[in-house]
């Protein structure tokens, strides 16, 4: 479910997480079996194909078998409840009553996807009898199940098609991606270290609401938690980290050797911090004063934070917890997710220039990333090395987590294309994104969504995947369309 990393990044050990867990149950109405003896074997063959297709995905599949009545459905429901699945898929092989489906959704208390995939594109009307027709009748109960789910207060989702229709399987796979986001967020441990960037009111986030919405845990850290671990780093570890960085980055002539050594030392300390607290993401900021150690720690984190982000442990500066959550969700679907904001608009070329100093996701780089020495971090205290590269050309999705006045979270997306052209060389990740509309209009529409100052820049057009994840998480998805020039609320 993830895009392959560039060859150089294979030097980094990726974070291992629990695999997405998909519950699967197939079924049909048992009253048909004595009437049409050849029907059940045909449906069971279809169910085996469905199970086999799910087995090809990057997920663990808990198969509860084939059910023929409400009693068998309750047994399957209990099996899936115990399995603690991230998504339950119910394959309607033929007509079945809604009384067979409702207990599964109610007992599992897990998002449900209903699929109805007939054996082929169409029936052979001239040769079909009632028994053969019933193998094509999986769509028949879909409105019934949808009605009952609605009355029971259960969100209804479905994919209709035929068994070997790749378009249908692409839609099914989207829900599996979405389940991966849900699985990652509901077990995630987000580190939050330091304090708000002074004056950035949009960044402030209610930590309790993160846990109640996503199921995540927020671990509040002190910069001293990092300080004691950096103090314990050995000279040998620093040499190893400098060597690794030299393999992954091109070192610009502006890099000061002392600053490079300090960045390597902080990087090793960050690895230990993440391991000790078992963190899946980190958001941080510390202002510091007059070159004291906490200021130097905050300024020395870019190298280590970028390496951790490349390993699948996203780090966001400026205390941007909601953006680190977005970056982690993007990582879960294999789309990278690099910390970004608007830099400027180019009205000649019709592009929005995006980027950021600080941590970057190396997997989205178009070329060998550069380490550049900076005497000044704009708007921040300290100095040291920063990561610079341009994002690889092609389709991208801007994806952020916003908040409404009532405190509810929203997934927010827009899709565009990274196009070549002149970029700043100031130690930032940078890109030129064409959204297909006047860049000023895009900024106006994007800003109306509830997005904050920062977001994740993700590879590919993945708005539909993030929208599906929002559905499973029970939150709203808002998409700024670059074709209709309007805000869509799916």
Cα dist. 74→25, 33, 64, 116, 485 in Å?
11, 20, 11, 20, 48
Given this model, what pLDDT does residue 427 score? Answer: 62
Angle at 53 between CA 51 and CA 55, to 5 degrees: 70
Whole-angstrom Cα distance, residue 66 to residue 59? Answer: 20
> Phi, psi at residue 390, to the nearest 5°?
-105, 145
Listed in sequence order, the residues at least 6 apart from 164 whose beta carbon sits closer than 8 Å to its beta carbon are: 120
Whole-angstrom Cα distance, residue 284 to residue 193? Answer: 5
Q: What is the dihedral of CA 166, 168, 169, 173, to 10 degrees?
A: 140
Tokens of 285: 């900021």
Listed in sequence order, the residues at least 6 apart from 154 whose beta carbon sits closer than 8 Å to its beta carbon are: 102, 105, 106, 112
CA-nearest of 91, 195, 214 to 469 is 214
Which parts of the chain sit beneath pLDDT 50? 1-5, 380-381, 484-485, 489-490
Whole-angstrom Cα distance, residue 120 to residue 161? Answer: 9
Listed in sequence order, the residues at least 6 apart from 244 whose beta carbon sits closer than 8 Å to its beta carbon are: 11, 307
CA-nearest of 298, 242, 240, 233 to 272 is 233
Listed in sequence order, the residues at least 6 apart from 33 whose beta carbon sits closer than 8 Å to its beta carbon are: 39, 40, 68
Q: Find out whether 489 and 476 touch, Cβ atoms under 8 Å.
A: yes
Given this model, what pLDDT does residue 74 score? Answer: 95
**Residue 44: exposure state from Cβ atoms within 10 A (0-12, 13-18, ≥19):** middle
Listed in sequence order, the residues at least 6 apart from 460 whose beta carbon sits closer than 8 Å to its beta carbon are: 335, 394, 395, 396, 397
Given this model, what pLDDT does residue 484 score? Answer: 46
Q: Find out whether 472 and 214 touch, Cβ atoms under 8 Å.
A: no
pLDDT tens profile 24-78 = 999 999 999 999 999 999 999 999 999 999 999 989 999 999 999 999 999 999 9
Phi-psi region of 360 (alpha: psi -120 to 50; beta: other; left: phi over 0): beta
User: Strand pairing of 487-488 and 87-92?
Assistant: unpaired
Given this model, what pLDDT does residue 485 score? Answer: 47
Q: Find out whether 427 and 386 touch, Cβ atoms under 8 Å.
A: yes
Given this model, what pLDDT does residue 10 score? Answer: 64
User: Strand pairing of 455-459 and 351-356?
Assistant: unpaired
pLDDT tens profile 413-454 = 999 999 999 877 766 778 899 999 999 999 999 999 999 999
Listed in sequence order, the residues at least 6 apart from 16 whose beta carbon sits closer than 8 Å to its beta carbon are: none
Q: Find out whether 81 and 53 touch, Cβ atoms under 8 Å.
A: no
Q: Which residue segments constitute the domains of the chain, with CATH numbers given? A: 18-180 (3.40.50.10940), 187-488 (3.20.14)
Residue 101 half-sphere exposure toward CB, CA atoms < 13 A: 33
3-state secondary structure of 322: helix
């Amino acid at each position: 479910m993830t895009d392959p990393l560039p060859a150089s990044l294979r030097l980094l050990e990726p974070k291992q997480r629990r695999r997405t867990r998909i519950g699967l149950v197939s079924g049909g109405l048992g009253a048909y079996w004595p009437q049409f003896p050849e029907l059940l074997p045909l449906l069971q063959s279809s169910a085996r194909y469905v199970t086999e297709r799910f087995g090809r995905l990057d997920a663990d599949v808990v198969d509860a078998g084939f059910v023929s009545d409400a009693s068998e459905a309750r047994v399957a429901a209990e099996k899936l409840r115990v399995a603690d699945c991230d998504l339950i898929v119910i394959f309607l092989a033929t007509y079945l009553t809604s009384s067979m489906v409702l207990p599964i959704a109610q007992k599992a208390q897990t998002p449900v996807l209903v699929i109805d995939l007939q054996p082929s594109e169409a029936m052979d009307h001239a040769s079909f009898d009632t028994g053969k027709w019933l193998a094509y009748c999986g769509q028949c109960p879909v409105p019934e199940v949808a009605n009952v789910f609605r009355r029971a207060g259960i969100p209804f989702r479905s994919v209709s098609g035929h068994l070997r229709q790749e378009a249908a399987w692409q839609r099914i796979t989207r829900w599996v991606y979405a389940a991966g986001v849900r699985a990652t967020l509901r077990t995630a441990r987000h580190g939050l270290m330091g304090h708000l960037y002074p004056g950035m009111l949009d960044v402030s986030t209610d930590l309790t609401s993160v846990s109640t919405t996503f199921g995540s845990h927020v671990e509040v850290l002190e910069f001293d938690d990092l300080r004691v671990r950096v103090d314990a780093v050995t000279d040998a570890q620093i040499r190893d980290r400098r060597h690794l960085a030299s393999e992954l980055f091109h070192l610009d002539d502006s890099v000061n050797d002392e600053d490079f050594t300090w960045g390597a030392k902080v990087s090793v300390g960050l690895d230990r911090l993440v391991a000790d607290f078992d963190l899946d993401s980190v958001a941080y900021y510390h202002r510091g004063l007059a070159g004291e150690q906490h200021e130097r720690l905050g300024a020395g984190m870019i190298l280590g934070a970028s390496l951790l982000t490349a390993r699948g442990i996203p780090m966001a500066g400026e205390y941007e917890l909601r953006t680190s959550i977005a970056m982690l969700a993007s990582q879960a679907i294999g789309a990278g997710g690099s910390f970004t904001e608007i830099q400027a608009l180019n009205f000649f070329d019709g592009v929005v220039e995006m980027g950021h100093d600080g941590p970057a996701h190396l997997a989205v780089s178009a070329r060998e990333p550069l380490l550049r020495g900076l005497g000044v971090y704009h708007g921040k205290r300290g100095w040291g090395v920063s990561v610079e590269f341009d994002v690889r050309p092609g389709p991208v999705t801007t994806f952020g987590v916003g908040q409404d006045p009532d405190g509810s979270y929203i997934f927010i997306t827009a899709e565009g294309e990274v196009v070549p052209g002149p970029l700043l060389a100031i130690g930032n990740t940078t890109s030129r994104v064409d959204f297909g509309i006047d860049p000023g209009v895009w900024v106006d529409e994007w800003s109306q969504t509830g997005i904050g100052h920062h977001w994740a820049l993700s590879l590919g057009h993945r708005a539909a995947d993030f929208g599906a994840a929002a559905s499973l998480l029970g939150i709203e998805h808002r998409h700024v369309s670059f074709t209709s020039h309007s805000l869509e609320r799916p």
